Amino acid sequence: MLDHTIYETKSLKQLKSEYKKWEKEVETMRKKCIDESDTFDTFMEKTHDMKEKMFFIDKYIRKKETPTVEFGKEWNGELIELVRFGSWCLQNSVTDTNGKGYYATITSKSDIEIKPTDVEFGIVRNDFTHVLWFGNNNS
C-alpha cells in the first residue's frame, strides 16, 4: 500500500496539479489499452497504482480545501457528531458506497465531502464537529 502521508505536506495547488497529472496518465493508458484490445481487467491492473495515488490525493485535497459554509437551513440528512461518525466508519456501519457525508457543525453544513475511508486512513479535518450524512435512502 502507498505511504499516503507524503501528501500531507503538499500544498493544495500541488495536490490539484498532481491529481490532474495522474488523471491524464489514466486516460492515456485507457486509450492505449483500447488500441491494444486489452481487457478491462488489464486496464485496471495497469492503472491500479495511478488510481491509488488519485484516491489519496483526493482525500488530502478535501482536507485542505477552503469550505463554503451554509447556515440556517434544514437538510434531510442525519447530523452526526464527528466522533460518533468515526466509530460508525470503523465498524463499517457506513461506507463510501452507502451514502454521502459533508463536514458540518450543529448550525452549518460545508461543501466538503467526508468519506468513511477518510476516517479509516486518518485523513480528517479538525475544523468541524459534525457530519451531515445522507444515506442512500435519503441522499
Taking only the tens of pLDDT, the chain with its 139 residues reads 789 999 999 999 999 999 999 999 999 999 999 999 999 999 999 999 999 999 999 999 999 999 999 887 777 889 999 999 999 999 989 999 999 999 999 989 999 999 999 999 999 999 999 999 998 764 4
0.85 exceeded by pTM: yes
In sequence order, the 6+-apart residues with CB closer than 8 A to the CB of 137 are: none
In sequence order, the 6+-apart residues with CB closer than 8 A to the CB of 9 are: none
| pLDDT for 136 | 79
DSSP β-bridge partners for residue 130 = 81, 104
User: Which residue, 64, 57, 63, is CA-closest to 2?
Assistant: 57
> Can you list the pairs that 119-128 forms with residues at least 24 positions away whose Cβ atoms lie under 8 Å?
119/85, 119/86, 119/89, 119/90, 120/89, 120/90, 121/4, 121/56, 121/59, 123/4, 123/56, 123/59, 123/60, 123/63, 124/63, 124/82, 124/86, 125/62, 125/63, 127/103, 128/82, 128/103, 128/104
| pLDDT for 137 | 67
| pLDDT for 139 | 42
Domain boundaries, the chain: 11-64, 69-135
Task: Please state, as a whole number, how many other Cβ atoms lie within 10 Å of the Cβ of residue 28.
Answer: 12
